């Protein structure tokens, strides 16, 4: 069982951060959300990692926009799950939030473990919509492109939750995307200790 510590992300973490994110998302509904570079955020951000030695085993990026802070990435390496790493990262992030940031939100899909973790941490679901993928072999009916282009090979789209049954009948990959919110006073209390 790795012993970890939480600290700020450093540029020397880049490769280990990318590996952790890739492997951590691989077994989730975000398995194809692959990044080859760590993002730079335009707004202030809290960028934390959990490390075992020099290896990143957990990530939490939280972008602050006035009264709202959004979790852009939270993931734990599959070999390090079940040790409280995500909760430790969230606890540190909440302690570092500017006082005016009264709410934290996050978006996730249908992964049971992720949804359960948000609820345990005190988040509540406040909105949902659909992520829909058009993939190989699926009908392109209704899709249009400029004349000089062929029809789409792949597409990622958003849709209303009210259309879920109809879209699931047509497309293989349809996910419910949930927005979770947390009042920061509640979150700071829950994650202490």
Distance (Å) of CA 102 to CA 69, 75, 176:
8, 23, 26
* H or E element, residue 14: helix 14-26
> Mean pLDDT throughout 79-103?
95
- 5-125+181-190 homologous superfamily: Gcn5-related N-acetyltransferase (GNAT) (3.40.630.30)
| Helix or strand run (H / E) with residue 104 | strand 103-108
Contact 123, 103 (CB under 8 A): no
Mean pLDDT across the chain, nearest whole number?
92
Rounded CA-CA distance 7/99 in Å is 21
Predicted local distance difference test score (pLDDT) of residue 189 = 52
| Residue predicted with more confidence, 117 or 31 | 117
Q: What is the pTM of this model?
A: 0.89
Residue 186 binned pLDDT confidence (cut-offs 50, 70, 90): low
- CB-side neighbour CA atoms (13 Å) of 33: 17
For the cut 70, the answer to whether the pLDDT of residue 124 exceeds it is yes
Indicate if the pLDDT at residue 34 is higher than 90.
no
- If DSSP codes are grouped into helix, strand and coil, which group holds residue 151? coil
| Residue 153 confidence class, pLDDT cut points 50, 70, 90 | confident
For the chain, the structural domain boundaries read 5-125+181-190
Instruction: Give yes or no for residue 116 having a pLDDT over 60.
Output: yes
Q: How confident is the model at residue 193 (pLDDT cuts 50, 70, 90)?
A: very low
**pLDDT at residue 2 above 70?**
no
pLDDT score recorded for residue 151: 82
More confident residue, 67 or 192: 67
Q: Indicate if the pLDDT at residue 176 is higher than 60.
A: yes
């Amino acid at each position: 069982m790795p012993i970890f510590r939480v600290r700020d992300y450093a540029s020397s973490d880049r490769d280990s951060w990318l590996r952790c994110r890739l492997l951590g998302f691989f077994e989730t509904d975000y398995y194809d959300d692959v990044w080859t570079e760590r993002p730079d955020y335009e707004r202030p951000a809290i960028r934390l990692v959990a490390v075992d030695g020099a290896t990143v085993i957990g990530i939490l990026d939280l972008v602050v926009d006035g009264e709202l802070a959004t979790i852009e990435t939270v993931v734990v390496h599959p070999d390090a799950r079940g040790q409280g790493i995500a909760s430790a990262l969230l606890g540190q992030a909440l302690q570092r939030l500017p006082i005016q940031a009264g709410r934290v939100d996050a978006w996730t899909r249908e992964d049971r473990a992720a949804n359960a973790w948000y609820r345990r941490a005190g988040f509540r679901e406040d909105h949902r919509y659909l992520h829909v993928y058009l993939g190989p072999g699926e009908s392109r009916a209704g899709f249009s492109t400029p004349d000089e282009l062929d029809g789409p090979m792949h597409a990622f789209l958003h849709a209303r939750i009210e259309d879920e049954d109809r879209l699931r009948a047509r497309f293989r990959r349809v996910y419910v995307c949930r927005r979770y919110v947390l009042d920061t006073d509640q979150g700071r209390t829950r994650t202490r200790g």
